[in-house]
């Protein structure tokens, strides 16, 4: 009986671990050490909420027919020296969700140990993308004893989607020869029911 209880505990623990693992939004690759700082060390992803958010994971989107990749984000494992680890980070956001890179709380996890990320430099550029939307020019509603009447007329409008691009080099004061490096960036002012939009970039080194 004791063995059965122990087995049940192991199964429950395994389910819990699997559930927690499924709640993240991690983009990762395997990387040889001689590829650090090259195009092969680049990871791309989009900001999203954790899987437990209401309705599941919410991913950042673009309006109208604007290509999704105008807001794609990038991180390249740029260098690892005995004293520090650095990542070249590019974050592209709708202007309404734009935040300075340091405000995204960049946090490294290097071989399981957390380190604060520091932005060395930051360059900002702006891109405007036009798209067609609609606006209501006339609306009519009416209620009778047994029916509801509703009618609306719309017309197309030209709208602009503004994207803010921030490029920076973020470093942590830990280096050497790590087996794994991850960088988490979280937008503090963008959330769904307190589930913030974030990305975790992860490199597994060989």
Query: Is the whole-model pTM more than 0.85?
Result: no
Q: How far is CA 69 from CA 65, 145, 162, in A?
A: 12, 51, 14
Counting Cα atoms < 13 Å in the Cβ hemisphere of 71 gives: 22
pLDDT in tens, 64-85: 889 999 999 999 999 999 999 9
Predicted local confidence at residue 104, as pLDDT: 98
- What is the rounded CA–CA span in Å between residue 105 and residue 94? 18
User: Where along the chain do its domains lie?
Assistant: 24-126+163-205
CATH code 2.60.40 for 24-126+163-205: yes
pLDDT in tens, 89-106: 999 999 999 999 999 999
Exposed / middle / buried, residue 159 (Cβ in 10 Å: 0-12, 13-18, 19+): middle
Predicted local confidence at residue 137, as pLDDT: 57
Predicted local confidence at residue 51, as pLDDT: 85
Predicted local confidence at residue 2, as pLDDT: 39
Sign of CA dihedral 124, 128, 129, 133: positive
Q: Which stretches of the chain drop beneath a pLDDT of 50? A: 1-24
State the pairing for strand pair 26-31/148-172: unpaired
């Amino acid at each position: 009986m004791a063995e059965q209880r122990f087995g049940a505990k192991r199964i429950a623990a395994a389910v819990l671990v699997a559930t927690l693992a499924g709640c993240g939004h991690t983009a990762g690759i395997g990387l040889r050490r001689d590829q650090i700082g090259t195009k092969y060390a680049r990871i791309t992803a989009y900001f999203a909420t954790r899987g437990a958010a209401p309705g599941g994971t919410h991913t950042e989107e673009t309006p109208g027919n604007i290509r999704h990749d105008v807001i794609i984000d990038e991180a390249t494992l740029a260098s690892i020296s005995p004293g520090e680890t650095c990542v070249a980070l590019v974050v592209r956001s709708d202007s309404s969700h734009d935040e300075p890179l340091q405000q995204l709380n960049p946090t490294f996890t290097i071989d399981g140990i957390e380190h604060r990320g520091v932005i060395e430099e930051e360059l900002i550029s702006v891109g405007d993308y036009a798209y067609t939307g609609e606006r209501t020019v006339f609306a009519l509603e009416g209620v009778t004893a047994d029916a509801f009447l509703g009618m609306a007329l719309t017309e197309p409008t030209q709208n602009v989607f503004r994207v803010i691009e921030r490029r920076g080099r973020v470093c942590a004061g830990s280096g050497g020869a790590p087996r794994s490096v991850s960088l988490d960036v979280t937008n503090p002012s963008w959330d769904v029911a307190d589930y913030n939009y974030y990305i975790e970039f992860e490199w597994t080194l060989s």
